[in-house]
Amino acid sequence: MVVEAFEQRQSGQISQKEFAQKTGLSELEKQSGEGLSLVQKAMKFFSGKL
């Protein structure tokens, strides 16, 4: 089920929201997305310092 949803997401057959609902990854994705933006901010900050 999750694999099927993932393949559909990869091929663009379903939206990000539908994918999240099918796989239950919406909460996880929010967390990882926030983590990623923090990493990106940190990288920009440090690259400005170097």
Q: Where are the domains of the chain?
A: 2-49
pLDDT of residue 13: 79
Mean pLDDT of 23-34: 63
pTM of the model: 0.31
HEC string for 2-16 = HHHHHHHHHCCCCCH
pLDDT of residue 12: 73
- Tell me the backbone φ, ψ of residue 13, rounded to 5 degrees: -80, -30
- N- to C-terminal Cα distance for the chain? 47
For all residues of the chain together, what is the average pLDDT? 71
Mean pLDDT of 20-24: 72
The answer to whether residue 26 scores a pLDDT higher than 60 is no
Angle separating helix axes 16-23 and 26-49, nearest 10 degrees: 120
